């Protein structure tokens, strides 16, 4: 690994992050572990894809540093297995063989980077920090969506009906006719629903229902 004098990190932002290193070369695993720990990243090494698949990925920001060519299961095959299982942990590939076709396949399948050994230390760290950043964004989005779903589930059936009709552009009078209730009750359900959803405007409500993929027809 080629180095440069200094590598900038985000300090505490990365100290809780985990790098999952998968490489059948013990010396490479050891070198990568030392490198990542030197910038305050937690490291969990694996000697094979099969060993990794027995491991439960922790509920923290993670990324995978993955060797392309390994016995029994290649890095590309593991990437495919993870995708099929719905596991979206970002991957940085490493390889000792320059193979454009493999690199293109890995990147098309969502890899963050594809580095040829021997690689520069800062290039690997940059790729790993980018992968961890991507994973934090993904986790934050998932948490926000979960919160949104919980708020929507807490609405009464009538509040859901009213808000979904508001989100598709129906006016209070039209909603009253659609649901055979008074316009006053529409206003009450609308106000209560917006408050429970923490929506400050109809535009914000529309964005929320888009995220929930909710509509009057499928709810």
Per-residue model confidence (pLDDT) at position 218: 57
CA dist 126 and 138 (Å) reads 18
Q: Is the dihedral of CA 84, 85, 91, 97 positive or negative?
A: negative
User: Would you place residue 11 in the very low, low, confident or very high pLDDT band (cuts 50, 70, 90)?
Assistant: very low
Residue 1 clears pLDDT 60, i.e. is over it: no
- For the segment 38-57, the average pLDDT, to the nearest whole number, is 94
Indicate whether 4 pLDDT > 50. no
In this predicted structure, the answer to whether residue 3 has a pLDDT above a threshold of 80 is no
- The pLDDT of residue 117 is 87
Domains in the chain with CATH codes: 12-141 (3.40.50.2300), 154-212 (1.10.10.10)
Instruction: Give the residue, 7 or 93, on which the prediction is more confident.
Output: 93
pTM: 0.76
Q: Is the pLDDT of residue 10 over 50?
A: no
Close Cβ partners of 20 (under 8 Å, ≥ 6 residues apart): 44, 46, 52, 55, 57, 62, 63, 64, 65, 89
């Amino acid at each position: 690994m080629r180095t440069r004098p200094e590598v900038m990190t985000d300090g505490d932002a990365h100290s809780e992050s985990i790098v999952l290193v998968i490489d059948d070369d013990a010396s490479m695993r050891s070198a990568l572990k030392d490198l990542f720990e030197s910038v305050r990243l937690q490291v969990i090494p694996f000697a094979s894809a099969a060993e990794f698949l027995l491991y439960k990925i922790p509920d923290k920001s993670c990324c995978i540093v993955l060797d392309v060519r390994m016995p029994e299961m290649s890095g590309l095959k593991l990437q495919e297995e993870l995708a099929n299982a719905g596991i979206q942990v970002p991957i940085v590939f490493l390889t000792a063989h320059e193979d454009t076709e493999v690199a293109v396949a890995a990147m098309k399948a969502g890899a963050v980077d594809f580095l040829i050994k021997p690689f520069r230390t800062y290039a690997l760290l940059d790729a790993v920090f980018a992968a961890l950043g991507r994973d934090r964004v993904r986790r934050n989005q998932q948490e926000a969506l979960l919160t949104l779903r919980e708020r929507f589930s807490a609405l009464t059936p009538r509040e859901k009906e009213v808000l979904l009709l508001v989100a598709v552009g129906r006016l209070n009078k039209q909603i009253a006719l659609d649901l055979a209730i008074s316009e006053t009750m529409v206003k009450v359900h609308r106000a209560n629903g917006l408050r429970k959803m923490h929506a400050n405007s109809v535009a914000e409500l529309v964005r929320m229902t888009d995220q929930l993929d909710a509509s009057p027809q499928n709810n």
